[in-house]
Amino acid sequence: MVIDCHGHYTTAPKALEDWRNAQVANLNTPELGPRVSDLNISDDELRESIETNQLRLMRERGSDLTIFSPRASFMAHHIGDRETSATWAAICNELCYRVSQLFPDHFIGAAMLPQSPGVDPRTCIPELERCVKEYGMVGINLNPDPSGGHWTSPPLSDRHWYPIYEKMVEYDIPAMIHVSTSCNPCFHTTGAHYLNADTTAFMQCLTSDLFKDFPTLKFLIPHGGGAVPYHWGRFRGLAQEMKKPLLQDHLLNNIFFDTCVYHQPGIDLLTKVIPTKNVLFASEMIGAVRGIDPETGHYYDDTKRYIQAAALSDEDRFQIFEGNARSVFARLDAALKQKGL
């Protein structure tokens, strides 16, 4: 199988965005709505939004299953308060669940958490539990910066986050470390903020002993790990100066990277520097980079081509396309086994 571990519902019917705009417009006057019941999206609308977009491209490019979560830039945890985020997360997660029910062979859900700046992460646990127990979701997206580019939260190694980690370990689910929209003009959302966050999350883990407290905790750092593979020597050297263990022992039993890297040299570097067991196939289509590369004539985010062209053995490709996703996402593996896959 070709399992894409990084998909977002970027093509949701426009009614979702309209509802969100109304919610934001009435943050100070919630009595004016909108109510959750005001959002009406039919199954036919969901089918059309998927069949003409993600599913069409999956078939064209030869991928089988996508781990599907709400649109990352729409999470916008910095908007409103805890109740705002709780309502918005519940709506978005339910839509992803409905997609997974309409297309059970091609999509399985991962949950957005109802995070809010300065709010105890414990408040996210009811939605996390609902998504795992009722929706069968296999992972979560964890935003290390709910403030939207101002980084007001403690680092991921801080005990502030431990209630989430305890639930992750209990349910054996990984977290994709994924920020949302930047409201700081210094940081372009997808070109800077996302990649900064990937690198920052890795460094927060490197400087800590988080995985001594949670030896089975799993983080997936997207977008190829930001700057991490390119500067692997820097991180090895810093860990050495801090008297930390070798990175393969200190971090690589718990941290994994995806292949949302949009040119061949980048994938070649990723797969050369990072052990194969730590690389999971992903495309993030239809996402931040949707155009065609004039140098190749192919879409930038058609990442399967890069894995096929990389200097990898057949066993390595199997691990990247399927094996590693089943290992990191234990609940995905269990769901596939139930289907005889």
DSSP 23-54: HHHTTT-GGG---GGG----HHHHHHHHHTTH
Looking at residue 179, what is its pLDDT? Answer: 97
Q: Do 322 and 3 meet the contact criterion of CB atoms below 8 Å apart?
A: yes
Residue 111's nearest CA partner among 221, 215, 9 is 9
Residue 65's nearest CA partner among 111, 99, 113 is 99
Helices (H) and strands (E) in the chain, counts: 16, 9
Q: Do 155 and 208 meet the contact criterion of CB atoms below 8 Å apart?
A: yes
The whole-angstrom separation of Cα 302 and Cα 50 is 17
> Which residues are catalytic, by number?
284
DSSP H or E segment with residue 281: none
Residue 145's nearest CA partner among 208, 84, 75, 230 is 75
Q: pLDDT 10s digit of each residue in the chain, 341 long?
A: 999 999 999 999 999 999 999 999 999 999 998 999 999 999 999 999 999 999 999 999 999 999 999 999 999 999 999 999 999 999 999 999 999 999 999 999 999 999 999 999 999 999 999 999 999 999 999 999 999 999 999 999 999 999 999 999 999 999 999 999 999 999 999 999 999 999 999 999 999 999 999 999 999 999 999 999 999 999 999 999 999 999 999 999 999 999 999 999 999 999 999 999 999 999 999 988 999 999 999 999 999 999 999 999 999 999 999 999 999 999 999 999 999 99
Amino acid code (one letter) for 266: G
DSSP H or E segment with residue 77: none
Supply φ then ψ for residue 255, to 5 degrees. Answer: -115, 135
Residue 155's nearest CA partner among 210, 192, 106 is 210
Enter the tokens of residue 324. Answer: 């590693």
> CA torsion 90→93→94→100, rounded to 10°?
-170
The whole-angstrom separation of Cα 226 and Cα 230 is 8
